[in-house]
Structure formats: structure tokens, C-alpha cells
Copies of this chain bind each other. A is one copy, B any other.
Amino acid sequence: MPIKTVINAAGRSVPLEINGQPAIPFKGVGKHKPGGRKYSPPIPACSDYPDDGNKVVGSLEEALRKCGLSDGMTISTHHHLRDGDLISNKVFEIASSLGVKDLIWFPSASFPCNDPVIKYLDDGTINRIEGSMNGPLGRYVSEGKMKGTAVLRSHGGRVQAIQDGEVRIDIAVLAAPTADCFGNAKGTGGHSACGVIGYAKADYLYATRVIVVTDNLVDFPCFPMEIEGNYVDYVVVVDRIGIPEKIISGTTQVTKSPDRLLIAELTASFLVKSGILKDGATIQAGAGGTSLAIAVFVHQILKEKGWKSKFGFGGSTKYMVKMLEEGQMGFILDAQVFDLDSVKSIENNPNHVPYPVFNAYNYHSKGNLTSMMDIMILGATEVDLNFNGNVVTHSDGYLLHGIGGWQNCLHARNVILPIPLFRDRIPVIVDEVTTLCGPGELIDVIITERGIAINPLRKDLIESVKGSGLPLKTIKELKDEAEKICGVPQKPKFEEDIVAAVKWVDGTVIDVVRKLKTM
């Protein structure tokens, strides 16, 4: 029986049921009132835990068995070890060897190192992944090979789903660079330091069972307690939780592409001329080459003007750390760390503060950090004439990226997308985005190497740069210009089958990804 679909408030056809669970169609930004109550995990009792606080067991397999690993369970992991993660795959290797089937893997993100889980999708160990899927995993989903339907959520949407009980984690397997025998754990120390492990917060708060896996067991108390031992069932000590050089890639480098540098310069120029960048302005940028170039320009401007950003929100990079250290930024609030300088900074600088996504991005809490940010620099795979954005599929229709914090960050005061006009001769600005990830009403400015388009809704911004000499264009003009150079690319063709649902920050379904028609 085909699943019933409806047209949601964004005009997208979405199902009323995903993986057998009822789904709520997107109602518009800020329109869905959740009602109901937060999820309530089972009540544990101290009498079931060792008096001496020592929860160390012999192996991850033993811990998983003690947690009652069985068919259909939801297993969560975090992505702080990035492409150096040695634990996530291990969980499914064990599950597969135990003959466990139909698991739901609920990572906070996945990386190329996770491609091996394809074999556990193939052999039925894993029913589906609810989380970001990049590269081969995304391709696998797009080709309709995954048994269950993928669910894509933003970082904030993920913790919202945990808190609200949309996703009920049976076992959270949380790798930790440093931990004590009680399960208190943190992201610094040892040889697998990743800076912070704040993505694990919702997981340990709400999972029925929590396993901490570490390669650096220290005496109690391990602090700061990013994971609180009172929520932890078992601690597993292994040789290596990660491959250090892949945890922190060290490759966060400013772009060298002349086009991207031009975009970065234009962005910096826009920030100054529009008056958005000013003393005290709060800033968030990413770790891409263009973002880093923007960070360098912004730093320079702050220095010259004698201004100071009140705070920036990480993922942190050495460029933010430099702002902090040289006095152009008051604080870095940080949910993940992208390079070694940032790991050192968060370990040593009291003004570089761990700030979990649970606190920064959870839309079903009493306020978010994102709406307090003045300047938000984001990317996109596609933007359309209504300023709608796509970050998960490419114009060829393949699922290629997770949402990350992108949707959450759209709630900032000024959302700026510095993006190239085309990538590999495929225009980035399109009539209608392949997959809708964020409504255009939240996206304010598109900055390309050939001009800047301001969302007509932002009359104030348009006014602010009048006569500034900036290359202002309409988004239609930008699109036409790109198509003049590249031509209009063929649209991908899809089957009816829904292979992934894209959730909005409030848990409603904003769009879906359909199975690609193979040629």
C-alpha cells in the first residue's frame, strides 16, 4: 500500500508516515507548536550499579550484550572523531557477528570512514540510518538500496527528536578521548583528543543504556564532565578509539581559488558596508575554505576598527582561536572542534567554552543561540529564485550531504550564503531546489563571484547598501548569468519511492528525497 502524501506549507509533497511512524508535514517557520511532553527514559536505581563506581567491562561486545543488544534497536553514536572514528563501525561488526538484525543507526553525522556500514545495510544488520549520509552512503540511499527510509535531521533537529521521543535511543555508544571508570568523560586529553564531545549530550541524557568507550582511562573524577557518569551504564577501554590524524584533519585551510577569494572579499565588503559587522557583532562561520577566508578578512577588519565580536559559535578553527587570543573576540562557544589549535585552545583558554548543540540548537527549548547571532555564514548545494536552500542533494539528484547545523543557523539575524555561481559547470542557482532544506524567507543574502543578491524581504539590508558600489543583482540576474555560461543542466529524474525524509528543526517534514531513476 503506498504511503499517503500531502502537500506541506512549503508546497512539497511529503508522507504522513515514515518507517511506520506518523509524520507531521511542515507548517511554516515557527508555526508548529509541539505540545506534549518530553521523552522520559526508564528510571534506573543505584542498587543495580557497582558501589565503588567502577563500571569498566572487558569489551565493547560484553557491554553491548549487557545492554541487551537485540533486533530493531536504535543505536546512537556521535561524530566527534570525524573521519578517524574507529568505534561506530565496530558496533555493527559486533551486532552482525551476533546475528542481530534491523538496527537503526542514529549517528550525529557520518564520514567516509563509515562507508563499511554498507555491508551491514546489505546483510540486514542495519535497517536504516537516521542521520547524515555522505558520498557512498548517500549514493546507496539515492539508489533505493536501504531497507528503511533515511531520516535527515539538522544537528538541532536530532537533539529535538531525542528530547521529544521521536527517536528513542536504546543504546548510545559514546567514544570519549578521556573518561573515568564511572563514565564521566570529555573531549580533551589522551591521544585521540577531539576537543569537545557535546554532540553526545542529548544521547546520554535520554538513551536507555549508555556505553562510554575510551582509550584514555583516568582516575575519577574526569572533568569537565561533558558526559555525566550518572547516566552511564558501562565503560569500555580499548587501544584506540580513533586515528588521531584523521580526527583532526589539520586541513582547514583558507581557499586558494581566486573565485572563492573574490567571494570572501565581497562578503567581507558587504558585511562592512551594510553595517552588519560592527563592534560587538556575534559571528558564526564554517570550516570550508571560503568561510575561513571570510574569517581572516573579518578578523582584519575588527582589528583595524578596534572592534570586538562579543562571541563566536564554533565549530572552531585556528582562525577563530586567533581572534580570541588577539582580543577581537570575547568568547568562543563551541560544539565541535576542527583543528589542533582549537583543541589546544578549548583545553587551555577559559574563554573558549564547550557549548553543546543541545543548548545551542534545540528548537524545542526555551531559546536558541542561533537567533542571537548577528552574522551567519553558510553554504548550499543549490539556492532557488525564492531563496530556498538545499544542502543535502546535488543538482544531479544524489543525496550527498547531511544537513549539519545549517537549518538551525538559518535563524540568525543575517544569513549570508557566499557560494560560487556554478560548480563543475553546474549552476548553483536554480528555478526550484531539488530538495528543500530551508525556506527562502530565512535566507538573506547570496554572495557569488559575479554579484550579490539580497532577499527582497530584507528591505532594510537593501537600503543599507544603496550606493555602496557593491555589485548588487537580483537572484534571477545571477541565475541567468550562470546559465549563459553553463547552459541549463538537465534535471534529474526520480521514481515515486521516498528514500529519505528531510525534517525541519521542529520535527515536521519539509521535504523528501526520492529514488533516482537510473538511466
Contact = CB atoms under 8 A, between A and B. Distances in A.
Interface in A416-474: none
Contacts of A210: 366
Contact of A44 (B41, B231, B364, B411): B364
7 contacts: A38-B43, A49-B367, A50-B367, A55-B367, A220-B311, A229-B366, A233-B366
A492 interface: no
Interface string A226-245: 00111111000000000000
A316 to B, nearest CB: 15
B333 A372 contact: no
A29 to B, nearest CB: 8
Given A182-B367, A221-B311, A333-B221, A45 B49 contact: no
A46 to B, nearest CB: 5
A252 interface: no
A518 interface: no
Contacts of A182: 367, 372
B37 A164 contact: no
Report which residue of A38, A232, A355 has the largest number of chain B beta carbons within 10 angstroms of its beta carbon. Answer: A38
Interface in A317-353: 331, 333, 353
B365 A52 contact: no
3 closest pairs, A vs B, by CB? A30-B47, A37-B40, A40-B40
A36 interface: yes
A20 interface: no
B371 A221 contact: no
Interface in A23-49: 30-49
A106 interface: no
Nearest to A205: B205
A37 B45 contact: no
Interface of A: 30-53, 55, 163-164, 182-183, 210, 219-221, 223, 225, 228-233, 310-311, 331, 333, 353, 355, 358-359, 362-369, 371-372, 411, 413, 506
Contact of A367 (B40, B43, B46): B46
A308 to B, nearest CB: 12
B367 A229 contact: yes
A106 to B, nearest CB: 19
B367 A53 contact: yes
A108 to B, nearest CB: 18
Contacts of A48: 366
A35 B43 contact: yes
Nearest to A369: B53
A364 B42 contact: no
A233 B366 CA distance: 7
A455 to B, nearest CB: 17
A372 B40 contact: no
Contacts of A363: 45-46
Contacts of A310: 219-220
Contact of A372 (B52, B411, B506): B52
A34 B38 contact: no
Contacts of A353: 221, 223
A504 to B, nearest CB: 12
Contacts of A223: 353
B311 A365 contact: no
B42 A36 contact: yes
A448 to B, nearest CB: 28
B163 A43 contact: yes
B233 A51 contact: no
A31 B369 CA distance: 44
A226 to B, nearest CB: 12
A230 B362 contact: yes
Given A30-B46, A37-B42, A43-B164, 19 more contacts: A31-B47, A34-B43, A38-B40, A38-B43, A43-B163, A50-B367, A51-B411, A52-B372, A53-B367, A53-B372, A55-B366, A183-B367, A220-B311, A221-B331, A229-B366, A229-B367, A230-B368, A231-B366, A233-B366
